[in-house]
Structure 1
Amino acid sequence: MSFTVAIIGRPNVGKSTLFNRLVGKRLALVDDTPGVTRDRREGEARIGSLKFKVIDTAGLEEAFDDSLEGRMRRQTEMALEEADVALMIFDARAGVTPMDKHFAGWLRKTEKPVILCANKCEGRIAETEMMEAYSLGLGDPIALSAEHGEGIGELFDALLPFEVEQVPDVAAKDRPLALAIVGRPNAGKSTLVNHLIGEERLLTGPEAGVTRDSISVEWEFEGQKIKLVDTAGIRRRSRVQKKLEKLSVADSLRVIKLAEVVVLVIDADVSFEKQDLTIAAHVIEEGRGLVVAVNKWDTVRDRNAMLQHIRDKLQISLPQVRGVPVVTLSALTGRGLEKLLPQVIRVYELWNKRIPTSQLNRWLEHMLEKHPPPMAKGRRLKVRYITQVKSRPPTFSLFMSSRGELPESYLRYLINGLREDFDMPAVPIRIATRTGKNPYVKE
C-alpha cells in the first residue's frame, strides 16, 4: 500500500461503517451501541484507482490510566503514529460536541495531517450542523454518509495527494545510472567519455561534429553501474542547416529526456555562452539533475575570474536550480576528472530523495508563519498540508483551500525553502497545488 490512513473520532460516529465502506467488506462489527470497536483493525482500502491501508480505531475516550478505555486510547495513539494521514470523524447530526473539540485540539498538536469528515450527512439534512465544524480548527469538512456511500468522491480528492509513487525495491547500485554527456560541438565530450572508461571507445578529433549518433557505453564506478551516453554537439537552431545535423541534435535532445543526470561540458577556451545556458535550461525543464564540467581548464589563465563568471551566469540565468556543481577538468590529460563522478552520484541521490510527510508539514508550518500566503478576494489563501508524491525529480503536492491559486512568487518561495532547508541543490523541484470542492456549494 502506498500510504496509511487512520480513522479517528469519539465513539459511535460511524468509524467502523466508513472502514467497511473503504475496504469493500463487512470486516468490522457495526452496531448502534457505543464502544463496539476496541482493537485497531487494518484493511486494504480502495477508492477508484487509489489504494491504501486503512486502520479502524476505538472511539477516543478521556482516559489515561490502565483501564480498558485507557488501553484502547493507547491503541488509537499507536495507529496515529503509524498513519500518514488521519481522518477525524464527527457526527453531523449530533453536531460538534465538547469531546469532539477536545480531541480535535489533541490532533492539532500532533504532526500528522488531518482531514475532517462530517459523517451521517444523508441528503444534506445535517448541512447546517456542519458549519460548526470550523470551530474544530481542522479546515473544511468533507460531507460523508459512510452508510450510503455519499461523499466518497470528495474523500478521494482529499487523499490523492498522499499517494506515493510505487518504486521497485531495488538497491540504487543495482540500477544503472543513466548519465548523458552533452554540450556544444568540439567541447570535448567524447574525449571525456574515453578518459572516464579508460579506452579509446569513441572517435575524437579537432574537427567539430565528429560525433553524430548518441553512443551508449556501459560502465561501473565504485560499485555503481552507469550507462554513459555521449551525444552530438548542440548548436543554436539558426546555425543548424543540414538535415543530418538536425537529426543529430534531435537525437541529443531525446537522450536528455531519457537521462537521469546530465553533464554539460563547457569549453573553457570560449567561456560560458548563451547556447550553454540554453542547453542547461532544457535539462532542467526535462526534470533532470545537472552537473557542469568546464573542460580544457589547463589552458585558462585567470581561473578565479572564469569560475566566478560561470557561477554568476548560472545563478542569474537558472535561479530555479541553485547550487549546480561546477567541476573543472581536462578531459585530454585527465586532471580533475576524479571530482566529476562523485558529484554526479551526489546529484543522482538528491534526484531520488524522498522526505517524510511529517517533516514536510513541520517545515510548512514554519514557512507559513514566516511568510503567510497572500490574500485572494479579500480572504487569505489557506494552505493545509504538503506531501511528496514522487521523486525523480522531487515532486510535491500542496493541498489548499479552493478560494484561489497561489501566485508563482509564493511557489518560488516554497521551492527555495525546500531546496535550502532539505539540502537539494542542482535538481529541479516541482510543486503542484490541489484544491478540494466546497461541499456547501450546490451544483
Structure 2
Amino acid sequence: MLTKKRALGVVTAVTLSASFLASCTPGGGSSDGTVTLNLATVNNPQMKDMEKLKSVYEADHPGVKINFQVMEESDLRSAVTADVASGAGQYDVVTIGAYETPQWGANDWLVDLTSFDDDAEYDAKDILPPVREALSHKDKLYAVPFYGESSILMYNKQVLDKAGVKISDHPTWQQIADAAAKVKTADSAGICMRGKPGWGDLFAPLTTVVQTFGGNWYDEDWNATVDTPEWKEAVTFYKKMLDDSGESDPVSYSFNECLTALKEGKVAMWADASVAASILEADDSPVKGKMGYAHMPVDKTEESGWLWSWNLAIPKSSKNQDAAEEFVKWATSKEYINLVGTKLGWSLVPPGSRASTYELPEYQKAAAAYAPITLDVMQSVNPEQPGVDPQPWVGIQYVSIPEFQDVGNQCAQLVADYLANRTSIDSALEKCQSIAQKAGDAHKD
C-alpha cells in the first residue's frame, strides 16, 4: 500500500513545481452561495471538449461553477499526486489514470463511487467491464471513466498508396520501420512516436515495444530486468527507426505533438492511443476519411496494444463532495455522450467507456473507420501477461506499484537522453536498472 509518507517521498522532487501548478481559486462556497468546483485535468482534446460544454451543466445547476485547470500530462500527474497525497484539498475533481485509481482507493484517498450503481439513470453497469475492473479495489469503484483506449497504428492511406506501401491489419515493427523509411520525404517524417520524457509520455508506447520484443521491467521475483538484451534491442530499434524516419527532435514530441503533425500532413504514420482516431476523423480534421488503422505492431507477441482510461475521481480532501459527485455523474453519463455528439460531432464522442456508445447509430456511422478495431484491440490485449514472460503485476504500459511513477520518470529521462544522443544505450539502461531494482526490492517476498 502507498502510505502518505511514501507518496510524498515519491513526489519530493516535483513538489515545489506541483504546488505552483496547483495554485488556484480555492474551492468551497462563495458569499452568494455559489459552489466552485476545481477540476484538474489533462491537456487532451476530449477534456477541452468537456470544458467547452461545462456551460450546459452550469446552466442547469445555477449554484455551481466549474473551474478547469488544464495541464500537460506529466505536470498533471505531479500536481495531483502531491495534492492528494498531502490532503491539501486544492481539487474537487481530478483526472487520473487506471494506474493511480486502485492504489489511491486502497489508501482511502478517494471517495467511494460504488453508490453510482444505485442510480438507474446513470447505469453504471453500462461501463465496459475491463475498464471498471481497472478502476476498482476490492469490488469498490473509486473513479469512473471519461474515456477508455488501447493503442493502434494510424496512417495516411493517400501518402502510403502514393509510395506503393501496404499495411496489414496486424503488422510487425520491422514492417512499419521499413514502411516509414519508404514514405519519409524532405518535408514529411515517415513516423511520429513519443520521445518526451515521462512515464506516461515516452514510456507508454516504448514499454509496449519492449514487451513485444521479449523484455519487461521485472521478472516474477521482482528482479529488475532492464539491463537485458531484450531491452537493448527494443530501445535501439526505437531510436534507429526515429533516426531514420522520425521527427527531427523526438524528445519534444508526445501525444499532442504527434497528433498535430499527422493532421497537418507532416508525418505519415503514428502508433499511439486509439482515442486519437476520433480526432483525426472529426469534421474539421484535414485528414478525415484519409486515414487507415491497424493493430499495434508486434515482434514476438500476438498483440502489443495497451489498456488505459482517463477517469474522473473525487479526492477525500474535497470540501464539495456532493456537488463533485453530481458533476462527475454528468460528465461520464449517456447524457453527456449524446451532448457531445449533437453539439460537437459524433466522431468526438468519448470512446471506450460505455458499451451503449457502440450501439448508437450515429456513432456507428461516424466512427465506422476506427470503432471496431478499437474494441477489438481492447478485448484482445492481456494485462496479466502482455509480454513474453509472466509478470507479478497486472498492467501493460505501467507497473502497478506506487514507486513506478518515479522510476518511470527517471528512466524516461535517461532514455530520452539516449534518443537525443546525449548518452549511450548501455549507460542509460545500466542506470535505469539500478533505479528499478531499488523499487523492486520493496516488493520482494
* TMscore range, shorter length: under 0.3
Structure number, greater radius of gyration: 1
Which structure has more relative contact order (CA 8 Å, sep 6+)? It is 2
Which TM-score applies when normalising by structure 2?
0.20
Q: Which has the higher strand share?
A: 1
Q: Which has the higher helix share?
A: 2
